[in-house]
Chain A
Amino acid sequence: MSKTNYTRRGVLKTGAVAGAGVALPTIFTAQSAAAYTNEPTGSTVTLGFNVPQTGPYADEGNDELLAQQLAVEHLNGMGDGGCLNTFSSKALKGNGILGKKVEFVTGDTQTKSDAARASAKSMIEKDGAVMINGGSSSGVAVAVQGLCQEAGVIFMAGLTHANDTTGKDRKANGFRHFFNAYMSGAALAPVLAKEMGNDRNAYHLTADYNWGWTQEESIVASTEALGWNTVNTVKTPLASTDFSSYIAPILNSGADTLVLNHYGGNMINSLTNAVQFGLLDKVVNGKDFKIVVPLYSELMAAGAGENIKGVLGSMNYNWQLQNEGSKQFVKSFGEKYGKPPSNSAQTCYAQVLLYADACERAGTFDPCGVAAALENFEFDGLGNGKTLYRADDHQCFKDVLVVRGAQNPTNAYDTLEIVEVTPADQVTYAPNHPMFGGDEATLGTCNSGA
């Protein structure tokens, strides 16, 4: 231990220094005087693209990034203009947004909510982003949406499928173009009834986290309404890579249908295991055994290869859709990157254009003005057909695709075929639906950060 010698002078000096140190931060707590967070004052406006570039959903994330860059090009009047040509709103002129050139910053969410928030914060605090777009998992989307609400910027969600994003966790500053688990169930049910009949015994394997649960809940509800019986619902840990131990009991359970509430690598592994166990060749209760994967993506389909042949699922968008917007988008994307766009790419592209258009129509970047312009906005020409941005929960309502793994793929991208386009009316629900937080769920008030 050291000896202590206090002198009068020493104590006074230290006291003065410490006092100044403590007082220093308090003179800086005043807020700056901008009208709203990150009001763009120069000749450019910055958007933040926050996608998973590493981690389990990196493939989706990188595809989203390509689409976002394409959208920025089109907004700035470069390239062929893409969906600006087919978009029903003609506010965008190809000269940036409100005459300001669009610039963007990118970040890596690592598919972790902490990292995603850190990255979004740096975009807002350091780069001055007025809008954050992206996210390839619902946990991340909900976390970043909350952050944008606090910070006073707009959040345009990317790929997020859980009901909670626009359900119990809905926020006034957050908007979702992608469809959700409820819509998957509602769109799949009639097709399932038609293809498999009304007296099936379903067995669910569910990824054990928020998205898995909401999807299981949605699918169970809509299939039981058909008259199906749910034999069992089994939760599988998220980190599993081998599902054989979960597949074996299905054979003895008397179930004739397997529903896989898995996504990404999980789904690829569980489907592969199920096919290896020969489930699809079994005949149970006098019926052929079937597998359903409620949420599909092209990247998963490519990963599962042969195994997805004939397996049913739902999607937000598929590049094979033949409406004007879709054809134009596939053309622009294909010419630039040499491959068709994925589901997640399309939703991010549409979100960036929708945001830019809302700014033009509102005449401001003020989040409250932009939000008001997006609410109850009806549009067409972005690839999904006629779409409504509902004001009550900031969810888009549009047609949902029911797809099937292609029996005879002609090329590497032709892995899925469209079975049916379920019209928007059929997947619409009340804003206070119990699966979406019921009456308690509110958007709160919009925050412009002023």
Chain B
Amino acid sequence: MLGLNKNDLTLLAIVAVLTLFAPFILNPFPADSAMAQFNAGYPDLMQRFIIFGIFAIGFNILFGLTGYLSFGHAAFLGVGSYAAVWMFKLLSYNVVPAIGLAIIVAGLFSVLIGYVSLRRSGIYFSILTLAFAQMSFALAYSVLSNPKFNLTNGETGLQVYKNDPQIFHGENMQDFPHFFGIYMNSTHTMNFGAWSFDFNAGYYLCAIVMILAFYLSIRIFRSPFGMMLRAIKSNQTRMSYTGLNPRPHTLAAFVISGMYAGLAGGLMAAMDPLAGAERMQWTASGEVVLMTILGGTGTLIGPVLGAGFIKYFENIFSKINDTILHQWFAFLPDGIEDFVVFIIHPFIGKGWHLTLGILFMLVVVFLPGGLVEGGQRLGKWIKSRGKSDDSSATTEPAE
């Protein structure tokens, strides 16, 4: 069905169910319990999971299939955001033209950067893309935000002002992005006993877009074009000798993944109509590489898992502070309580980078295939439990 085989269809169905029911899944703890700290089911973070999931899915089409490691993908995300906010400023707060232009502009921008960068491969390609991204960041941060020609509004970030044209903005409309009248920030909170679940319009827009983006990515992975991209990864020289020119294919993959980044950038602006230049910084480009590797390079669902993992740490662990730790360990005797808090202190709050770094290291060392490999191993272990293990000696092809 839908042009997919049974396994892929199951995967798509799982992703669809997980995203549509995320408000329940991410809020497993009652709202007033101590564990509520670990709930992630509030609109902003759920939107971020999805948006960075889309970004990572797109990145994986380039990195996972062709093996070209781009270190400048955040540039496309940023360009997409700026394009979307400009649509808000000029036309209206409707998200459709904004997201549309974001994809188009990011696509054009990636043709430009890809055409130059793809003349080299390996480390040279990575450095070229990194250079372009840093250049875009510097342009956005200061060069293109001078008072005479203000395209990006620099450090403050591009935002919509009262005196912007907004030619299609209705009289009675609120000043917030909407999808034909459904405002992105409208949230319905459902209380169910001690639990509370947030259903946010913006989240569901993102979720539907992500399911479509995920479907498209499966189709690309399974298509002859995807096969061609894999051929580039396994042996580009041999491919050229058989008379195929790899460059148009790599450029196409680069542009497709750039457009995914643009889509993510546009959605980000649609959820929160401000585009900051830091979105294009090299750290942001590095983040998507981490997400993809953490989740599982070249797998379909890996990047989405990786994105969720990193964003969870960034938003949940950075908010745990000493006061909260003292509450948790209040049952211990005073001296021991202080000692435990002292031990945990470096890993929470401002130390969330440290925790993430350690986990990343553990994953890369013990699960080279990322979280997906962890899942597969767990699945295998559950299946083989109780059975004699004489059956499992099949060799997987190297990827």
Contact = CB atoms under 8 A, between A and B. Distances in A.
B325 interface: no
Contacts of A32: 187-189
B33 interface: no
Contacts of B5: 2
Interface in B192-247: 198-199, 201, 204, 208, 222-223
B349 A53 contact: yes
A146 B350 contact: no
A27 to B, nearest CB: 8
A139 B154 contact: yes
Interface string A110-136: 001111011101100110000000000
A21 to B, nearest CB: 6
Contact of B223 (A1, A4, A208, A440): A1
Contacts of A138: 155-156
Interface centre among A113, A211, A238 (most CB of B within 10 A): A113
Interface centre among A14, A115, A208 (most CB of B within 10 A): A208
Contact of B44 (A6, A30, A118, A237): A118
Contacts of B162: 442, 444
Contacts of B145: 209-210
Contacts of A208: 142
A25 B201 contact: yes
Interface centre among B185, B190, B276 (most CB of A within 10 A): B276
Contacts of A444: 162
B353 A54 contact: yes
Contacts of B276: 112-114, 139, 143
B11 interface: no
Contacts of B155: 113, 137-139, 209-211
B1 A30 contact: no
B73 interface: no
A411 interface: no
Contacts of A62: 350
A112 B186 contact: no
Given A119-B318, A122-B319, A235-B142, A113 B157 contact: yes
B272 A113 contact: no
B32 to A, nearest CB: 8
A29 interface: yes
B197 to A, nearest CB: 9
B43 A125 contact: yes
Interface in B155-180: 155-157, 159, 162-163, 175-176
Interface in A182-212: 208-211
A77 to B, nearest CB: 17
Contacts of A80: none
Interface string A224-240: 00000000000101100
Contacts of B367: none
Interface stretch (A101-109, A173-181, A291-299, A360-368): A101-109
Interface in B1-28: 1-5, 16, 20
Interface in B300-320: 314-315, 318-319
A58 interface: yes
Contacts of B379: none
B80 to A, nearest CB: 14
A106 B163 contact: no
A238 B281 CA distance: 13
B350 A21 contact: no
B310 to A, nearest CB: 13
Contacts of B3: 1-2, 4
Contact of A164 (B146, B156, B278): B156
A213 interface: yes
Contacts of A440: 163
A299 to B, nearest CB: 16
A114 B47 CA distance: 14
Contacts of A245: none
Given A31-B186, A114-B278, A4 B1 contact: yes
A10 interface: yes
B199 A28 contact: yes
A413 to B, nearest CB: 23
Interface residues of B, number: 57
Contact of B142 (A10, A53, A122, A237): A237
Nearest to A116: B276
Given A2-B5, A21-B16, A119-B315, A125 B198 contact: yes
B349 A6 contact: no
B48 to A, nearest CB: 7
Contacts of B185: 150-151
B349 A106 contact: yes
Contact of B274 (A108, A122, A143, A235): A143
B45 interface: yes
A125 B189 CA distance: 11
A127 to B, nearest CB: 8
B138 interface: yes
B33 to A, nearest CB: 14
B16 to A, nearest CB: 7
B1 A147 contact: no
A169 interface: yes
A27 B396 CA distance: 47
A121 B44 contact: yes
Nearest to A13: B1
Contacts of B20: 21, 24
A203 to B, nearest CB: 20
A28 B200 CA distance: 8
A237 to B, nearest CB: 7
A213 B318 CA distance: 33
A206 to B, nearest CB: 11
B182 A209 contact: no
A246 to B, nearest CB: 15
A369 to B, nearest CB: 22
Interface string A41-65: 0000000000001100010001000
Nearest to A141: B156
B315 A122 contact: yes
B319 A105 contact: yes
Contact of B279 (A114, A137, A146, A169): A114
A10 B9 CA distance: 13
A115 B272 CA distance: 12
Interface centre among A22, A30, A118, A444 (most CB of B within 10 A): A118
Interface of B: 1-5, 16, 20, 39, 42-45, 48, 138, 141-142, 145-147, 154-157, 159, 162-163, 175-176, 182, 185-190, 198-199, 201, 204, 208, 222-223, 272, 274, 276, 278-279, 314-315, 318-319, 321, 323, 349-350, 352-353
18 contacts: A2-B222, A14-B1, A28-B188, A30-B188, A31-B186, A105-B321, A108-B318, A113-B274, A117-B274, A118-B314, A125-B43, A137-B155, A138-B156, A139-B154, A150-B185, A169-B156, A209-B154, A213-B146
Given A10-B1, A28-B199, 15 more contacts: A4-B1, A21-B20, A29-B188, A29-B201, A32-B188, A54-B350, A108-B349, A113-B278, A118-B48, A121-B43, A122-B319, A125-B198, A137-B155, A210-B155, A237-B138
* 5 interchain residue pairs of minimum CB distance: A139-B155, A28-B199, A53-B350, A25-B204, A28-B188
